[in-house]
Chain A
Amino acid sequence: MLAAVLPALAGFHTGALSSSGIVANAASSGRALAHASAWVVFFTGAVFILAGAFGVILLRNPVHCALMLVVTLFGVAIEFIDQAADFLAAVQIIVYAGAIVILFLFVIMFLGVDRVDRRATMGSEPTKLQRPLAILLGVVTLVEILVLSRVQHWSTGYAGTASQPGGFAGSLTGPGENIQKLGQSIYTRYLLPFEMTAALLVIAVVAAVVLSRHQDSVAGEMSRSEQESMVDE
């Protein structure tokens, strides 16, 4: 698979593509080749996303789950690039795969839960039929979304940009780089939400510090009083 994907991504090499036989009839012109390469990029990202998602759900070790989450995030970044969201793809890699997953791994190893959850494998279920019902509910959710999308069109509640060119936030295909347009939109129209996210981040950091420090001091005092009581006895 990878041997067939790589020349389509990098080369636009007609001979290599037609000899690989996957898109032999589509490689006649450059436009068809670009079309085929778009499909190849999409399916590569889809394979990454689905493999990572199944890994997160199925693997026992939380560390392996976190690493499979990186695979899914990387696949989503590929789909972002495929849809002209360059800045978001970079942020996806840097913030999600770089910071959030590292935070997950740090907490996993800090708490020492990076071993197989023995109780889950022993089958001591507090509620019977929970897992089959959960899988059934997930399948029902997926089928519901897909059926609704077939019965009606994908409903956005959005009037479309035909009456209002460029929408509220600005057009996607205008001149300029993606990051430039995104920054202009955020710093002009969405300035107030942007400031609110700054406040939200500060509140989150303070909350994290308070949550961990307060528990720590309470636990320390309790252990100290317990030690004193044990010494008195």
Chain B
Amino acid sequence: MNVPGAWYLVLAAILFGLGATGLLVRRNVLVMFMCVELMLNAVNLTFVTFGRLENDLGGQVSVFFVLVVAAAEVVVGLAIIVAMFRRRAAATADDIDSLKG
């Protein structure tokens, strides 16, 4: 009755690839952060799919914890971005080059 799990996994792989590509292509730090969220969602979809295939609730429990960690990560990441913007008006990742050797 259900769609085979491989379709979901391929969809999640495509979403992960798109997120990775966006993380590498984009310059804006906030948009890079959104691409990280895309990759997290791809992995979440994979967790739920494997949980359904194995008939195990552990996949959904893992997604629950990933959601919590993603929320904490977004809070800290955005605080860092705000602090960075206050120090210098840097919208792109290329402007953060104080550590170059």
Contacts and interface: CB of A to CB of B under 8 A. Distances in A.
Interface of A: 31, 34-35, 38-39, 42, 46, 49-50, 53-54, 56-57, 62, 65-66, 69, 72-73, 76, 79-80, 82-85, 87-88, 91-92, 95-96, 99-100, 103-104, 107-108, 110-111, 113, 117, 119-120, 126, 130-131, 134-135, 137-139, 141-142, 145-146, 149, 154, 156, 158, 160-161, 166-173, 178, 181-182, 185-186, 190, 193, 197, 200-201, 203-205, 207-208, 211-212, 215-216, 219
B7 A42 contact: yes
Interface of B: 1-3, 6-11, 13-22, 24-28, 30-31, 33-35, 37-38, 41, 44-45, 48-52, 54-58, 60-61, 63-65, 67-76, 78-83, 85-87, 91-92, 94
A135 B25 contact: yes
A139 to B, nearest CB: 7
Contacts of B50: 154, 156, 158
Residues of B contacting A: mostly: helix
Given A49-B11, A215-B86, 11 more contacts: A69-B37, A85-B60, A88-B64, A103-B78, A107-B78, A141-B16, A197-B68, A205-B75, A207-B75, A211-B83, A212-B83
A167 to B, nearest CB: 4
A131 B94 CA distance: 13
B21 A57 contact: yes
25 contacts: A31-B1, A39-B3, A53-B22, A53-B38, A56-B31, A57-B35, A69-B38, A82-B3, A83-B8, A88-B44, A88-B67, A96-B37, A108-B30, A126-B94, A138-B20, A138-B24, A156-B54, A161-B55, A171-B57, A173-B55, A197-B68, A197-B69, A204-B72, A211-B76, A215-B87
A204 B75 contact: yes
Given A146-B10, A156-B54, A169-B58, A208 B3 contact: no
Nearest to B68: A197
Contacts of A35: 1
Contacts of B92: 117, 119-120
B52 A83 contact: yes
Contacts of B17: 138-139, 141-142, 145
